[in-house]
Amino acid sequence: MNSTLNGGKDGSRLGSPALVEPSSYFNWMTLETVKTAGGISIVPRPTPTKAITILTSVIGALVLIGVFACCLFSATAFLWALVPIGVATTAGTPALILYYYRKEQRLGPVLHFDSEKRTFELLRAGKSFPLKEIAGFRIVTDHLGEDQVSQLQLCAKNEGPFLLVPTQLHHALKAMLKELLAFAPVNAWLCTKDSKAPGGWREEVFGRNTSLL
């Protein structure tokens, strides 16, 4: 595998891949890329009210089916266990989803790339970097317990990495990265934890700007 992560032609150094902590992970994408007249941004998604309503209805229906089955077969012990669990799940799941979306919306936009000024603005971090100071993007994938999690990171040549998007949805990050690379002419890598790979990480060049490596 290429060694650009540990020292590119321009002398930049991204260092060994690692998850940026602390962070929380969710299996719904609460952030998205938005194209603007002057570039592209990573911003909070609008709350998916319809999807949350459908999910809540499905959970509620499954709970009712369980209650009906318990009554049908006179499984009183299971019924008394199912009812509180069912109520907590039906109410708690949409509440948790809403919490994550509202949290991201309060924090505001994450990143903006200005195509004209050729600058990256890390809006939550209060930092700005010209394009020439950016080493590239990378998606870092590792395990936390039994869960596989991924982070989209931005690496400056002398600072960072900066966490942009944490998620359990690896494929969604790859789609997001493709959209970013269509505007931002930088390098990108996929870094996956692999005990069998040299250094414990499997590293792949990603995107269409590999000529810069």
Strand partners for 44: 31
Q: In what order do the strands lie in the sheet with 147-156?
A: 162-167, 147-156, 134-144, 187-193, 201-206
For position 102, what pLDDT does the model report?
95
Token pair, residue 16, equals 């060994």
Could you read off the pLDDT of 96-119 as tens digits, one per residue? 999 999 999 999 999 999 999 999
For position 64, what pLDDT does the model report?
86
Contact by Cβ (8 Å): 182, 147: no
What contacts 18, CB < 8 A, 6 or more positions away?
A: 140, 142
Spatial separation of the C-alpha atoms in residues 37 and 165, rounded to whole Å: 23
Percentage of the chain modeled with pLDDT above 70? 90
Q: Which of 8-22, 40-54, 87-101, 174-188 is the least confident region?
A: 8-22
Spatial separation of the C-alpha atoms in residues 94 and 42, rounded to whole Å: 24
pLDDT at residue 162 is higher than 50: yes
Which residue ranges make up each domain of the chain?
4-35+117-206, 49-105
